[in-house]
Amino acid sequence: MTITTRMLANWANYPVAEAEIATPENTAETRDYVLSRERLIARGNGKCYGDAALAPHVLSTLQFNRLLHFDRETGIVECEAGVLLSDLLNVILPAGWFFHVTPGIKYITVGGAIASDVHGKNHPAKGCFSNWLISFELMTANGQVLTCSRTENNALFWQTCGGMGWTGIILSARFQLMKIESGQMRQTAVQAADFDSLFRAFDDNRRWSYAAGWLDGTASGRSAGRGVVFLAEHSPSSSTQEMLSLPAKKPRNVPFFAPSWILNPLSIRLHNEIIFSRAKTGERFVDLDTYFYPLDRVQNWNRLYGRRGFIQYQFCLPEENSFDGIRRVMETIRNSSETPFLTVLKRHGERPPEAVHSFPLRGYSLALDFPRTRTIFNLVHQLDELVWNLGGKIYLTKDACSAARMGRVDPTAFGEEKFYSLLKARLLNSQDTALKGLPV
C-alpha cells in the first residue's frame, strides 16, 4: 500500500484540500487502513464535481481494477470497484453488450457509479444504475465485508446506492448489462426556438429511448430557452464486427490551465451561437462514443475554466413545476452577473421507492456549468431558494456550495461516523434546520 500527501481536488478543481491518499492493493490492506484512521472517504477516479470524494484521509480504489467474471451469454459482469467504465467497454462491446445506464463520461469507476447512483439519457425507461445492480461487497467501519443485495442486507444496499460513500468501502459489484446489435446509434436532432418548443420536443418524442437537450444559457427575449434536443436509438445489427467497438480516436487535449479571462460573457455567447448553428435537424448515424460520451473527446477540458475551477449547479424539479421552474431559474441567471458555459436538460421518470438517495425526480433536471467567480455563491443561494420552494433538489455528486437541505438527505442518519467527506462535514456543520425530517 502506498500513502502520499498532496493537494487534491475533484474534476471541477474546486475546492482544493490537503489529503493523505492511501492506495491499497488488496482487501487486507484496505481493512488495515480503515481500522487505523478515525475518518476517511473512498475515492474512485475523482470525476465528481464538488467535495464528495475529498477528506483529510482518502482511500483510493484505483488498484481494485480487475474484471472478475463476465458471462457473455447472460450479460452479467462482476468486477472490482475501481474498474473504469471505459475499461469495461473494451470487453463488453465486442461481445454485444452495453450498459443499461451510463452517465455522460466513461472514465468513472463502478464504485463511483454506485455511490452516486448515476443516471443517463434514458432515465424514464431505465432508471438509475441501481436498477441494474445485482449485488456488491462492502467493507464497513469495523473491517467486516458484507454482501449487499435486494435480498441480503437490503437496507444497507439501498443506503449505499447514491449514499456518497458514507456507508463504507465498495470492493466489488455484480450488475446486468444490456444486449445490443451494433455500436451505432440512430440520432435525430430537434432544434427548438424557445422554452415552449424545447419542452414540446421532449414531450412529443417520448417514444425515443434516449433524449438529452442542450439549452442556450445566453439567449434572452423571444429566444429565451432556445436549444436542441438530441434523440437516439440503438441501431440494428451491422455486417461488420468492427461496429461492436468504440472507434479509435485521438482525443484533443487542453494541455494547461487557460487564463481566467478566456471564458467571459462574450466568448460564452459565441460558443453557444456555434453550438446552435451547427446542430442540424434530421437523422444521422453516430457511434456510441459520440452520443453517450461527447465530453470525453477533449482531455482535461476542465482546465478551460482556469485554476479557479468551476461550479456545476444540477437540480431536478417535479414534472408539474419543471417548465415554469426552469424558466424562472434561467431568468434569475440572466439577471445576475454570471453566465453558464454549458447547460444540459434531461427528462426523468419514476424511481423505485427504495432508491431514496437517487437524484432524479419524475420531471426535468438542468445542469449548469459556471466559471467560479467571486459572486457565483450569491447566485447559488438564490437558485437554492427557488429550487427548494418548487419542490426540487440538487445532485450531491455535483455539489460544492449549496445549502445543506438541497440534496434532501440527512447525513446524520447513516450511522457510520468513520466514512466522512468534506461534503458530509459541510452538511453536518450547517445550521439548516430543514435537514431534520429529510429522507434517510
What are the tens digits of pLDDT across the range 408-431?
A: 998 888 877 899 999 999 998 876
* pLDDT average, residue stretch 214-220: 94
pLDDT of residue 440: 44
Long-range contacts of 234-241 (CB under 8 A, 24+ apart): 234/98, 234/180, 234/181, 234/182, 234/184, 234/185, 234/186, 234/209, 235/181, 235/182, 235/184, 235/185, 235/186, 235/285, 236/181, 236/182, 237/181, 237/182, 238/181, 238/182, 238/183, 238/184, 241/94
Contact 364, 318 (CB under 8 A): no
pLDDT band at 280 (very low <50, low <70, confident <90, very high): confident
pLDDT digits (tens, 9 = 90+) for 391-405: 999 999 999 999 999
pLDDT of residue 232: 97
pLDDT of residue 366: 98
pLDDT of residue 277: 84
Mean pLDDT across the chain: 93
Closest of 132, 140, 68, 66 to residue 98, by C-alpha: 132
Which residue segments constitute the domains of the chain, with CATH numbers given? 67-179 (3.30.465.10), 184-405 (3.40.462)
* pLDDT average, residue stretch 77-85: 98
* pLDDT average, residue stretch 86-114: 97
**Distance (Å, rounded) from C-alpha 89 to C-alpha 85?**
6
pLDDT digits (tens, 9 = 90+) for 119-135: 999 999 999 999 999 99
pLDDT of residue 47: 96
